[in-house]
Amino acid sequence: MCKHEQGDHFEENSTACEMCDWVNEISEMETGVRLKCERCGHVIYTHYAQLSLQLWLNSGCALLMFFLSFCFNFLGFSANGASREISLIECIVNLSVEHHPVLGIIVTLPLLVFPFLYLAFVIALLFLIKTHQHVPQRFKRLVHWLENLKPWLMADVFLLGGLVALIKLKSLAQIELGYSFWAFCLFAILLIRVVSLVDKRWFWNQLEGKSDYIVTHEGTAQEQDLIGCHYCGALVKGDAHSCPRCNHVLHVRKNNSLTRTVALLLAACVLYIPANAYPIMITTFLGQSEPSTIIGGIVMLWGMHSYPVALIILAASIIVPLAKILSLLWLCWNTKFQTDITPERKQTVYHITEFVGKWSMVDVFVVAILAALVQLGTLMNIIPGKAALSFSLVVILTMLAAFSFDPRLIWDTQENNDAPEK
């Protein structure tokens, strides 16, 4: 294989859908057109005009806003003559050092570390493509990391958590939004844009050129003794152990997908109990401490007539985690026992379950912001409760369970039931 030099042109011949394993031919597409799977409708690729330029501009501006987020005050808080201002880095340091180190790490990684690495990797890859240099294999693996980091980017969730925290405090104190808050808002928007533009197939075509041409016909890759590489989109012959283009280990289906998914869900179920039974934060006002559970926080917001925010927390912290667990267990069941529900609907359930997963972290970010901001000595302070760590682990485990589940098993079950009996 050799690297081509045709700019943003996409040269792949065919690829297997990640959702249903159907082989799709890739032909010339107009700007803005999406290639959807012929079988399940999953979006495989979107053709953007001047993609490399868009990635340069958006990722560069996102990094600029990221650094500006640390240069000024993030939030200000004043009550009864006492005031406090914090920067974004102080928010993280206070949580990690003074209150809960493990929780601080859990908050810092998806909020700051992973987004920075994601943008840095995008810029590094664009530079390597622009200079047309020989790219060592270890640098090409940055494309793998882009795929691995994408689900864990939570700057947008943090902003929603900030909104909820401000609403909780509005009746108790005066809140001031600093310049860094607005810089972080722009950073979150630009990061979302970069993620929407990044496509692993495009990067691998720029770095390595198109994959080897393989004659295909209508059907799944497995039926044709082929394997679709999840990390670069190449079609590879079924006897290969690793992808010849990206060197990633190949599997016809994810190993022990159902076993790992169910195990992670059971662990999440165990942690879901203390996450709701114990207080997620403890508020001390004039020497009197008042613990607050997730349900208690929702009731408080409802009593403050903040109905939309109360419903958001109810959905993100109570309904979504429970619905994710039940949905994934139901999908695992359906891969073993056929029902009248179509594979398209089951796949829709999986897409929704995978998408909403990270938004359950909003309550954890609320606690992180309040614990850093509201520290006024004996007058008033807020610290994380026992449930904060348990709830964080519930979110992480359910997200991992969603990634462990192989949606192609949904379609395999349908094919097995549709196959004529011998």
Per-residue pLDDT of the chain (422 residues; tens, 9 = 90+): 334 334 444 445 788 999 999 998 877 666 677 889 999 999 988 888 889 999 999 999 999 999 999 999 888 877 666 677 888 888 888 777 666 788 888 889 999 999 999 999 999 999 988 886 666 777 778 888 998 999 999 999 999 888 888 877 776 667 888 899 999 999 999 999 999 999 888 888 888 877 777 777 888 999 999 998 888 888 888 888 888 888 888 888 888 999 999 999 999 999 999 998 998 888 776 667 788 888 888 887 787 777 887 888 888 889 989 999 999 999 999 888 777 888 999 999 999 999 988 998 988 888 888 887 777 666 677 788 888 899 999 999 999 999 999 999 999 876 655 544 43
Give the pLDDT of residue 19: 92
Other C-beta atoms closer than 10 Å to the C-beta of 339 total 12
Give the pLDDT of residue 163: 85
Q: What is d(CA 365, CA 353) in angstroms, rounded to the nearest whole number? A: 21
Q: Whose structure tokens read 């993280």?
A: 92
Give the pLDDT of residue 230: 84
Give the pLDDT of residue 171: 65
20 DSSP assignment: T
Q: What is d(CA 407, CA 238) in angstroms, rounded to the nearest whole number? A: 19
Q: What is d(CA 347, CA 353) in angstroms, rounded to the nearest whole number? A: 10
Give the pLDDT of residue 80: 67
The two three-digit tokens of residue 277, written as one number: 């039974």
Tell how far CA 60 is from the center of its chain.
21
Is residue 7 one of the residues assigned to a domain?
Answer: no
Is residue 8 one of the residues assigned to a domain?
Answer: no
Give the pLDDT of residue 420: 46
Q: At what angle do helices 343-356 and 386-404 cross, to 10 degrees?
A: 150
Give the pLDDT of residue 378: 62
Other C-beta atoms closer than 10 Å to the C-beta of 32 total 9
Contact 208, 246 (CB under 8 A): yes
Q: What is d(CA 201, CA 311) in angstroms, rounded to the nearest whole number? A: 39
Give the pLDDT of residue 266: 96
Give the pLDDT of residue 79: 67
Q: What is d(CA 12, CA 204) in angstroms, rounded to the nearest whole number? A: 10
Q: Whose structure tokens read 């003559």?
A: 81
User: pTM here?
Assistant: 0.87
Give me the torsion for CA of 185, 189, 190, 196, rounded to 10°: 160
Is residue 360 one of the residues assigned to a domain?
Answer: yes
Domain that holds residue 351: 14-417
Q: What are the angstrom distances between the C-alpha of 123 and each of 55, 117, 120, 146, 232?
A: 8, 10, 5, 11, 18
Give the pLDDT of residue 109: 93
Q: Whose structure tokens read 């613990």?
A: 291
Q: What is d(CA 97, CA 114) in angstroms, rounded to the nearest whole number? A: 20
Q: Whose structure tokens read 């196959």?
A: 419
Contact 347, 19 (CB under 8 A): yes
Other C-beta atoms closer than 10 Å to the C-beta of 4 total 14
Is residue 262 one of the residues assigned to a domain?
Answer: yes
Q: What is d(CA 195, CA 119) in angstroms, rounded to the nearest whole number? A: 9
Is residue 285 one of the residues assigned to a domain?
Answer: yes
Give the pLDDT of residue 35: 85
Is residue 41 one of the residues assigned to a domain?
Answer: yes
The 75-79 sheet, strands edge to edge? 82-86, 75-79, 174-177
Is residue 5 one of the residues assigned to a domain?
Answer: no
Q: Whose structure tokens read 């953007």?
A: 48
Detail the DSSP E strand segments found in 71-197: 75-79, 82-86, 174-177
pLDDT in tens, 56-115: 999 999 999 999 999 998 888 776 666 778 888 888 887 776 667 888 888 899 999 999
Handedness of CA 301, 307, 309, 313 (dihedral sign): positive
Give the pLDDT of residue 10: 46
Q: What is the domain count for the chain?
A: 1
Is residue 340 one of the residues assigned to a domain?
Answer: yes
